[in-house]
């Protein structure tokens, strides 16, 4: 990793599928794929075993790739409270592991992430996957969607860190301008 880049681990939390994606982003906002994967656990396994498997997968990525920051998709209310609970539990594991590793961690809403990578906070999964492939210069979109979402979360976080400087310099891409506007609206 170049000294002028930031390595971010993005996590799309879940118990059945937990997406993890690691990117290096340089000062010009050019991103490079470092790692992408999905931690899978069987739905019939005891909850403790599933959380332990998610923790092992995240810990392995932390040790193998040495990110400098962790970004997790923020849990939001859904109609299915069981899904929200499972997502929140996996999110808690991710945030705990970041804290134990001494890494700064942040959460980002799905609309923030979509706006950051597509320029549209209500983009669908296919649009996010297509933009991730384009941004990272991949031959095909990452599969499954959880993997692409994790990379999008990492990119959102990396780009967010330099947004104030880029706004002042007038160097934001259209997608980054949309993200900055979404962030401004979210804060008001």
Give the catalytic positions in this structure. 12, 73, 146
Enumerate residues 6+ apart whose C-beta is below 8 A from 72.
10, 11, 13, 91, 94, 95, 98, 105, 106, 107, 108, 153
DSSP track, 46-75: -HHHHHHHHHHHHHHHHHHH--SEEEEEPP
- Residue 149 marked in a binding site: no
- Residue 68 marked in a binding site: no
Q: Distance (Å, rounded) from C-alpha 36 to C-alpha 50?
A: 20
Q: Distance (Å, rounded) from C-alpha 82 to C-alpha 162?
A: 36
- Residue 12 marked in a binding site: yes
Q: Which residues are annotated as a binding site for Mg(2+)?
A: 12, 73, 146
Q: Which residues are annotated as a binding site?
A: 12, 73, 146
């Amino acid at each position: 990793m170049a000294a002028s880049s930031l390595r971010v681990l993005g996590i799309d939390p879940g118990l059945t599928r937990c997406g993890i994606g690691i990117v290096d982003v340089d000062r010009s906002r050019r991103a490079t794929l470092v790692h992408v994967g999905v931690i899978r656990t069987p739905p019939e396994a005891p909850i403790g075993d599933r959380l332990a498997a998610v923790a092992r997968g995240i810990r392995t990525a932390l040790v193998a790739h040495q990110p400098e920051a962790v970004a997790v998709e923020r849990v939001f209310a859904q109609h299915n409270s069981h899904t929200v609970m499972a997502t929140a539990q996996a999110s808690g594991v991710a945030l705990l592991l970041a804290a134990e590793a001494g890494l700064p961690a942040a959460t980002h809403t799905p609309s923030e992430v979509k706006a950051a990578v597509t320029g549209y906070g209500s983009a669908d999964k296919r649009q996010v996957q297509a933009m991730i492939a384009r941004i990272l210069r991949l031959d095909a979109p990452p599969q499954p969607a959880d993997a692409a979402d994790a990379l999008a979360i990492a990119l959102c976080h990396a780009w967010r860190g330099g947004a104030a400087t880029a706004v002042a310099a007038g160097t934001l891409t259209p997608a980054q301008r949309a993200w900055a506007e979404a962030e401004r609206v979210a804060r008001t």
